[in-house]
Amino acid sequence: MTGLILGLPSFMTPGRLWLIVVPLALLGLYIFLSKRKSRRGIRYTNTSILDIIVPAQSQWLRHVTVGLALVSLVCLAFAWARPLGTDQVPRERATVVLILDISNSMGATDLSPSRLAVAQQEVVNLVDSLPDGYNLALVEMAGSSTLVLPPTTDREIFQRAVQGVELEPSTDVAAALRVALSALELVPAGEDDQPVPAAVVMFSDASGTTGSTSPKQVAGQLAELGVPLYPIVFGTDYGYVDLTNADGQVERYQVPPDHQFFAELAQITGGQAYGADDAAQAQEACAKIQSTVGHVEVEKEVTAQWAGLAAVFAAVAAVGAVMLGARWR
């Protein structure tokens, strides 16, 4: 039905669209005949009385019936031209690299129980909802990012790996993305030597505090491979962490999420960034990512939709014709 809302669909045989001429010509004929003055009708002398006794009948039923019949014809013409629509088909094979931020800022408790706990929960949920054939890799993102788990289809190992992470100081987004790139290289090519479709999902809260290269540069490399990045940005503007420094003193750091930065990164790769102020929003973001990563859009013939639409219009037009044609009493 997207074709109806967003405009005309593309057609497999656009040459057959000339059939639209028929309803258009009929519409023109109808308007011409309606406007014509010398229509046949009966002459009647006593119309001054008739005028006040029988008020002017509204013509909407007549017009609506004709209009629907013509719209039905247009839909049929479209159906004959075999329109193409898009369909969501579940992907069979794909690689998803999950980058989990384990910097200290993820320990902030503005999300209950903590940002990291929520992120872990969502990673597990997302992993559960993805098809079994997907290769999943896990990358820990901190001062030094490591590939915890190379691409694997084993969900149990994956879940254990997610549960086992611990907080570490500082963040280097660029390094984490590079590790993700290397993880993608580990995946064998598909059946016909085409690279298997991939995506990177990042669970993070703030832009990098360390690192020499720009994360945007690495994001550019991702874009070249056609791998979209979907960051889920955790935390509220009022999040903080209390850290003990080398002197044994506790210092409080403000750790607001950096939505702008992640949105730019996602845009470079053709992905989309989601904000998660609480667990519910995180869940929602995961569901959206699951539907985009888990499905592929396929062009499909939607002739039946248009034929059905034509049938509905024709049915309503037929009701109007019956009401016009029948004598009620």
Which stretches of the chain bind other proteins, using CB under 8 A? 39-54, 56-57, 59, 62, 324, 327-329
Reduced to 3 states, what is the DSSP secondary structure of residue 243? strand
Output the smallest distance, CB 62 to other proteins, in A: 8
CB of 32 to other proteins, least distance (A): 16
Q: Which of 115, 272, 94, 287 has its CA nearest to residue 194?
A: 94
* Cβ 325 to other proteins shortest distance, Å: 9
**Using CA atoms, how far apart are residues 9 and 4, in angstroms rounded to an integer?**
8
Nearest residue (CB) to other proteins, 239 versus 320: 320
Q: 188 or 325, CB closer to other proteins?
A: 325
Nearer to other proteins, 62 or 155 (CB): 62
Cα separation, 187 vs 95, whole angstroms: 8
Q: How far is the CB of 2 from other proteins (least distance, A)?
A: 41
Closer to other proteins by Cβ: residue 42 or 246:
42
Question: In 244-264, which positions are buried (b, 16+ CB within 10 angstroms) versus exposed (e)?
Answer: eeeeeeeeeeebbbbeebbbe
Nearer to other proteins, 47 or 212 (CB): 47
- CB closer to other proteins out of 252 and 329: 329
Choose between 46 and 245: whose C-beta lies nearer to other proteins: 46
**Residue located via tokens 């699951």:** 290
The dihedrals phi and psi of 70, each to the nearest 5 degrees, come to: -70, -40
Q: How far is the CB of 59 from other proteins (least distance, A)?
A: 7
Whole-angstrom distance, CA of residue 301 vs CA of residue 12: 8
Cα 6 to Cα 9: distance, rounded to the nearest angstrom: 8
CB of 51 to other proteins, least distance (A): 7
Give 121: exposed, middle or buried? Use CB within 10 Å, 0-12, 13-18, 19+.
Answer: middle
Write the CA distances from 173 to 10, 18, 254, 265, integer angstroms.
41, 56, 19, 10
Minimal distance, residue 285 CB to other proteins, in Å? 60
**Beta carbon of residue 43, minimum distance to other proteins (angstroms, whole number):** 5
Q: How far apart are CA 108 and CA 105, in angstroms?
A: 6
Angle at which helices 115-129 and 155-163 cross, to 10°: 180
Cβ nearer to other proteins, comparing 225 with 324: 324
On whether the CB atoms of residues 70 and 27 are closer than 8 A, the answer is: yes
Query: Position of tokens 């629509």?
Result: 85
Question: Would you call 241 helix, strand, or coil by DSSP?
Answer: strand
